[in-house]
Structure 1
């Protein structure tokens, strides 16, 4: 019996030796990310992210020009028309974690290129839609799916390339939304007047192929490694019998696959040694080795899952509070841009002046993002405090919108709204990085977008419902303003949690310092006594 067990153990050892080249190859791939360069090729990543912001959220904001035409063509309500953009925004948020997993499994470049193709196909097919349902499936779902596969990986890559200048980089990248909104809004109106809304959608589909070019600009950071894991694995295997027990159990954090291989080899060595020293202990030793291998397999599986989806974020209280802010903020973020042009048309303002309101908003939005992103980069105040103030101001401005009726009043509202909106959007991703850390940004961004999806999906239809009930587009702005002020309450809660966390850290540091001081004084007294 003992001889048969020894043969099985030697066979397992031979299989491990056959698998070791594969493990070593995996070890060479498991490299730690390089430090953010904050320059060089990082500026091309910023350019790519700039264009992605413009061709996703910029198109969403400028799409309000299509609303009046589509609503009249299909003879539907404001609620029915609003579902087109609402489905696109909701799909963008829901599919964001999937886009992050695909980027981790393959690479950011291929995912963004595929997303750009989906956006183009969705909009082109939408140009031939015969009813609203087909528009929901094409311009809504397919287009939103492509948005998720382009926006999420690009923003994640931008966070990896910038560290010291991250607030400013996020602000500059988000200005793509403003500039393209400024350009696309009158352009869409011109295309609609020249080629109808169907022809304008065909041209938009061709324009969104540029998202594929943005994906081609993405290049992963060059990771470095000083020690070859394969060589190290062989050296550790040869020295298992020579090193003391304490040294042989030390792990190498930079080579996780090699560590798993080493653990399995240690268990086999222990089992083989037990066969010669105490044959009666063979069953117990074999069971211990099997338990060790099972624990190693579970650890490996958990590591692989966390590499793609960091599900532990749902236990992070600060992250969940910030996600609730995102839900209520999304209720108010998208409705105003969609209904500003129809609201102006309802007040009797002619079509090109109504479209110009979005351009005015986009121009001040651009200034707000750059200026307040620069302010955030100075670190004069906590970023979460700055975000809280801008969100409250944004909600207050939206509550005042129904008081405007003439073009000059609406132009003033558009300018103030764009300025405060830009100040808000410029830093909300930076706050997310501060909450979870840059290493978890990819998974955090995916989960944040997923949780926020309910707000992005329901915001425009809820605003449209109030508009249909009250026969006044101004009620949609009131709903958005209330939602934003409620979202600011969660930012205040997050700020208090940050303060408590800093206070507990300071207390621990003070206690540690006191203990060190007491030990030093005790040693001094002993020296005096001697």
Structure 2
């Protein structure tokens, strides 16, 4: 799961190196989608696969898709083909591997759920620090086509991760059915009548199934989920922008590129060091039931910390900003899925996460380009 997220960053770098002229428009808009990737608009479809086939099969299927898509990118001859292989196919694989992994973590861990989520999210920061160096080495030794092949082989290891996910069964007396297939039963439609009655019955069944998997009923009836989903959606509008513009902002102010790049490495190190202790501290009984308040406070600090950059592009100022941003980012990343698991029932978690992924993918997509437009307009 964490390897996938960091590999997305590497894909973006590889494309810029070898097809620089073709993607100049993307680079100018500074599309930083790979900086903090999230599952995209295929989230509801992924939740259907999870409930139908379970987390293990879905993760393995996602591993195959992402590995094949990444490997196929090495044979592309145009940017359009690269969009299809490294974008659509690999992106679907990421989605089908990421969401079930988060879901099954919530089932495996109950008492230590906060710590488990914090530890699993640490891999994102670890990949941020290590995979760029691996990418540089692969590009120098094998070229961008060979690099895609190797990264595709790395992503195939998601199949191994899926294979070790033990299927969850209900306890004694519950029939032994997989837990992921358990949920509020759909109301059976009346026996279909000939003609219009049959069409109405089919339409009723489709609407009931779509409503369940899209979790629209949660938006209507669960106010906590509604507030959380709307808040996360707006958060994603600017959450990744500092990761995209930090180095350009520093170099534009006269900082050496090496020192500017060091800031991102420091950000990754802060996340690696801080997230495990965050999981330990907020897993204690004292914070039980208060995760949402800690999460909201960390999110507020994370947003306000961007004002530090207004003091200037000096290394000391940006170092303080990176540390503050990294600390708050660690808390946000460690508690996000824990808070969602506290808000909705685990039987509805895949659907809730899928709908949230659709909503946040929209603002995640338009955030960096909007910041780029604001920069060029001189309003920032």
In the TM superposition, residue 322 of structure 1 has moved relative to its aligned partner by 1.0
Q: Of 337, 358, 369, which residue of structure 2 is paired with 1:461? A: 369
- Is 1:385 the counterpart of 2:293? The answer is yes
Which residue matches 2:4?
A: 56
Would you tell me which structure has more helix in proportion to its own residues?
1
2:151 aligns to what SS in structure 1?
helix
Q: Is 2:97 the counterpart of 1:150?
A: yes
Query: Is residue 313 of structure 2 the alignment partner of residue 313 of structure 1?
Result: no
Corresponding position of 2:324: 416
Deviations along 1:479-516, one digit per CA (max 9) or x if unpaired, are xxxxxxxxxxxxxxxxxxxxxxxxxxxxxxxxxxxxxx
Deviation for aligned residue 1:135: 3.5
Question: Which residue number corresponds to residue 450 of structure 1?
Answer: 358
CA distance in 2, matches of 1:319, 1:225: 32
In structure 1, which of residues 180, 190, 197 is the aligned counterpart of residue 127 of structure 2?
A: 180
Aligned length: 363
Name the CA distance, whole Å, in 1 between partners of 2:31 and 2:82: 9
The whole-number CA distance in structure 2 between the counterparts of 1:395 and 1:87 is: 17
* TM-score relative to the length of structure 2: 0.80
Question: Among 328, 332, 344, which residue is 2:234 paired with?
Answer: 328
Residues 120, 209 of structure 1: 8 Å contact kept: yes
How far off its partner does 1:466 sit?
A: 2.7
Cα distance between partner residues in 2 of 1:67 and 1:339: 18
Deviation at 1:161, TM superposition (A): 1.0
Q: Equivalences for 1:127-276 in 2 at 5 Å?
A: 127-226=74-173
Selected match of 1:360 from 266, 281, 290: 266
Aligned twin of 1:376: 282
Secondary structure of the residue aligned to 1:142 is helix
The answer to whether the 8 Å contact 1:88/1:145 transfers is no
2:56 corresponding residue in structure 1: 109
Residues 78 and 464, structure 1, Cα contact 8 Å, conserved in 2? no
Match for residue 23 of structure 1? Answer: none
Q: What is the deviation of 1:136?
A: 3.0
Supply the distance in 2 between the matched residues of 1:344 and 1:128 (Cα, whole angstroms): 36
Where does residue 432 of structure 1 map in the other structure?
340
Displacement after TM superposition at 1:167 (Å):
1.1
Distance 1:464 1:456, change over 3 A: same
How far apart are 1:402 and its partner, in Å?
Answer: 5.3
Gaps spanning 5+ residues in structure 2: where? 177-181, 192-200
Instruction: Report how far residue 211 of structure 1 moved.
Output: 1.4
Q: Which residue of 1 aligns with 2:246?
A: 340
Residues 396 and 227 (structure 1), Cα distance of their counterparts in 2 relative to 1, 3 Å cut:
closer
Q: 1:225-269: CA deviations, max 9, x gaps?
A: 43879xxxxxxxxxxxxxxxxxxxxxxx99x89xx9xxx9xxxxx
Q: 1:133 to 1:348 in 2, by over 3 A?
A: farther
Conserved in 2, the CA contact under 8 Å of 1:84 and 1:135?
Answer: no
Distance 1:112 1:228 in 2: 25
Q: d(CA) in 1 for partners of 2:21 and 2:305? A: 33
Does the residue aligned with 2:42 lie in a helix, a strand or coil?
A: helix
Contact residue 79 and residue 468 of structure 1 kept, 8 A: no
The alpha-carbon distance between structure 1 residues 88 and 106, as it changes in their structure 2 partners (threshold 3 A), is: farther
Contact 2:44 2:213 in 1 (8 A): no
User: Relative to 1, partners in 2 of residues 1:141 and 1:400: Cα closer, same or farther, differing over 3 Å?
Assistant: farther
CA change 1:131–1:321 in 2 (3 A) is same
Is the alpha carbon distance of 1:70 and 1:339 closer, same or farther for their aligned partners in structure 2, counting shifts above 3 Å? farther
The residue aligned with 2:194 is: none
Which structure has the higher relative contact order (CA within 8 Å, separation 6+)?
A: 2
Contact 2:9 2:34 in 1 (8 A): no
Question: CA separation in 2, counterparts of 1:204 and 1:227?
Answer: 43
**2:4–2:94 Cα contact (<8 Å) kept:** yes
Aligned to 1:124: 71
